[in-house]
């Protein structure tokens, strides 16, 4: 059957050749001018994030020659009659394999570089529990030896295993139970404890003492810097940890930090400096305590707990994809399991409507004032009986002043649930700098209103 050429896409995600042969295209063009006919190209109808599309699986040299000769249509065969969903990882892999196999079979030979490129994409797209026997499978499909395929994909397999292993170690140091780690990582508990044993046998701490830097160790083991620090700091006191991290806890009740320490948390709307959590842990918890964060955002509390040798279970209604150490949980449905044994519950809720757009429609920031305050009441109920560290700033709406919420209202709510304020620290935000800062100042002046920087950390003791 014939298809309009401008309706056919060459999809680099699937097509194996990194480079086309100009010589081959020109020779096809010459043949076309001499009246030659070519066999149909192989295409497939797919659907992906961009909608429906028809893509070439085999015949890119031919279709390019047709295009150059200003043909409007080309003869095609479909691989499968039905539309395939390219977002399904198994379908994507099949499309890559068929496209590579067809291109191996004839015409300009695929280079080993092209095959390697495809193999890496295939290995990268597979989840860690589906990597077993991949080398043998690809060797058969692409008629290469298994050692050659191993050579091609071993860097990606090693990286994936290192990512899994560092997640296991991170969760272990955060005090997660082996059975939970095993479920999350898709491997049995014996393997989990083997991996933890292996990592401990690296003697990272000793290497650090012998002069290797955290940077060098992190690169060597494929760990992130926070985890590398956490491994090195194991069994050390708070004081020793602070000395090595070059961190001074605050001795006055004003904890202002102008920047977020990169070791704690990732860029996230409303991210707080991890240094605030370090201070809170230092003054209100001890090593080995379990900390629970019910609205963990970008994982600042987890990372601070790793550095301080505290256990931590973190939850969020909408955890970032890359933070497997944050469990999806809506606290409005009740306390998650971790709460029972919490020595401190860390709370950094959305300050009512601030960042409503960023947190999504399920966040409590999407609620109206009355329901938001009810959600705060539920929060206090969920935390009853525990020590709580609440980060909070006022919310003020100049157009609708009665919609504002001030800190006293939160304190009242918590007091209704038998909490008492036992500490209060000023943790004001720094004013924005550069262009953003100038714009904020200008519009504040013009509109006769103040920008809000004040923020407090309130520590409640449960009775």
Ligand X SMILES: C[S@@+](CC[C@H](N)C(=O)[O-])C[C@H]1O[C@@H](n2cnc3c(N)ncnc32)[C@H](O)[C@@H]1O
Interface with ligand X (CB under 6 A)? 265, 268, 270-272, 294-295, 297-298, 300, 316-318, 330-332, 348-350, 359, 363-364
How many CB atoms are located within 10 Å of the residue 400 CB? 9
Helix (H) or strand (E) holding 46: strand 41-48
In the bound complex, which residue of the shown chain has the CB atom lying closest to ligand X?
297
Q: For residues 335 and 350, which CB has a smaller minimum distance to ligand X in the complex?
A: 350
CA-to-CA dists, residue 247 to 76, 279, 305, angstroms: 66, 10, 14
Do residues 256 and 427 lie in contact, with contact meaning Cβ atoms separated by under 8 Å?
A: yes
Q: For residues 78 and 268, which CB has a smaller minimum distance to ligand X in the complex?
A: 268
Q: What are phi and psi of 121, to 5 degrees?
A: -65, -40
Closest approach, Cβ 295 to ligand X, in A, equals 3
Q: For residues 256 and 318, which CB has a smaller minimum distance to ligand X in the complex?
A: 318
Closest approach, Cβ 308 to ligand X, in A, equals 16
Closest approach, Cβ 417 to ligand X, in A, equals 17
On the CB side of 36, CA atoms within 13 Å amount to 15
Closest approach, Cβ 368 to ligand X, in A, equals 14
Cα–Cα distance for residue pair 368/73, rounded to 1 Å: 57
Closest approach, Cβ 302 to ligand X, in A, equals 10
Q: For residues 43 and 388, which CB has a smaller minimum distance to ligand X in the complex?
A: 388
Closest approach, Cβ 312 to ligand X, in A, equals 12
Q: What are phi and psi of 117, to 5 degrees?
A: -60, -45
Question: Quick one: 409 exposed, middle or buried, by C-beta within 10 A (0-12, 13-18, 19+)?
Answer: middle
Question: Which of 183-198 are b and which e, b meaning 16 or more Cβ less than 10 Å from the residue's Cβ?
Answer: ebbebeeeebeebbee
Return the ∠ at Cα 330 (arms to 325 and 335), rounded to 5°.
Answer: 85
Q: For residues 74 and 260, which CB has a smaller minimum distance to ligand X in the complex?
A: 260
- 48 strand-pairing partners: 51
Closest approach, Cβ 306 to ligand X, in A, equals 14
Return the ∠ at Cα 248 (arms to 243 and 254), rounded to 5°.
Answer: 165
Q: For residues 120 and 366, which CB has a smaller minimum distance to ligand X in the complex?
A: 366
CA-to-CA dists, residue 437 to 256, 286, 432, angstroms: 18, 39, 4
Closest approach, Cβ 229 to ligand X, in A, equals 18
Closest approach, Cβ 355 to ligand X, in A, equals 7
Q: For residues 110 and 264, which CB has a smaller minimum distance to ligand X in the complex?
A: 264
Closest approach, Cβ 4 to ligand X, in A, equals 46
Number of H helices, E strands in the chain: 18, 13
Question: Which of 226-245 are b and which e, b meaning 16 or more Cβ less than 10 Å from the residue's Cβ?
Answer: bbbbbbbbeeeebeebbeeb
- 56 strand-pairing partners: 43
Q: For residues 200 and 318, which CB has a smaller minimum distance to ligand X in the complex?
A: 318
Q: For residues 61 and 455, which CB has a smaller minimum distance to ligand X in the complex?
A: 455
Q: For residues 270 and 309, which CB has a smaller minimum distance to ligand X in the complex?
A: 270
Do residues 335 and 388 lie in contact, with contact meaning Cβ atoms separated by under 8 Å?
A: no
């Amino acid at each position: 059957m014939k298809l309009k050429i401008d309706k056919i896409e060459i999809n680099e995600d699937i097509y194996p050749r990194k480079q086309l042969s100009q010589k081959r295209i020109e020779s096809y063009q010459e043949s076309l001018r001499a009246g030659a006919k070519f066999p149909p190209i192989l295409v497939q109808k797919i659907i992906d994030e961009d909608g429906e599309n028809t893509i070439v699986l085999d015949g890119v040299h031919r279709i390019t020659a047709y295009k150059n000769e200003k043909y409007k249509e080309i003869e095609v065969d479909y691989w499968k009659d039905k539309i395939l969903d390219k977002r399904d990882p198994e379908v994507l892999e099949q499309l890559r394999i068929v496209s590579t196999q067809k291109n191996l079979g004839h015409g300009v030979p695929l280079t080993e570089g092209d095959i390697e490129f495809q193999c890496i994409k295939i290995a990268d797209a597979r989840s860690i529990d589906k990597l077993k026997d991949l080398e043998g499978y690809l060797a058969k499909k692409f008629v290469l030896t298994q050692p050659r395929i191993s050579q091609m994909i071993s860097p990606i397999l090693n990286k994936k295993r290192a990512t899994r292993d560092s997640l296991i170690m991170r969760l272990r140091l955060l005090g997660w139970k082996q059975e939970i780690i095993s479920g999350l990582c898709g491997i049995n508990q014996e393997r989990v404890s083997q991996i933890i044993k292996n990592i401990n046998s690296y003697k990272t701490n000793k290497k650090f003492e012998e002069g290797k830097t955290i940077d060098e160790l992190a690169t060597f083991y494929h760990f992130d810097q926070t985890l590398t620090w956490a491994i090195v700091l194991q069994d050390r006191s708070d004081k020793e940890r602070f000395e090595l991290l070059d961190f001074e806890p605050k001795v006055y009740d004003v904890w202002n930090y102008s920047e977020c320490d990169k070791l704690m948390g990732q860029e996230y709307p409303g991210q707080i400096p991890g240094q605030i959590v370090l201070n809170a842990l230092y003054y209100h918890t001890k090593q080995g305590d379990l900390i629970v964060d019910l609205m963990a955002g970008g994982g600042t509390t987890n990372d601070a707990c790793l550095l301080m040798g505290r256990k931590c279970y973190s939850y969020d209604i909408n955890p970032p994809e890359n933070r497997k150490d944050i469990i999806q949980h809506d606290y409005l449905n009740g306390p998650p399991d971790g709460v029972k044994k919490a020595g401190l519950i860390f709370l950094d809720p959305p300050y009512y409507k601030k960042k409503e757009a960023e947190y999504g429609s399920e966040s409590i920031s999407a609620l109206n004032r009355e329901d938001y305050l009810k959600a705060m009441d539920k929060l206090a109920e969920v935390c009853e009986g525990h020590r709580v560290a609440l980060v909070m700033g006022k919310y003020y709406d100049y157009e609708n002043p009665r919609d504002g919420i001030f800190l006293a209202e939160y304190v009242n709510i918590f007091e209704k649930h038998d909490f008492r304020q036992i500490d209060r620290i000023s943790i004001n935000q720094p004013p924005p700098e550069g262009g953003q800062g100038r714009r904020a100042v200008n519009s504040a002046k013009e509109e006769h209103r103040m920008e809000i920087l004040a923020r407090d950390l309130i520590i409640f003791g449960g009775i």
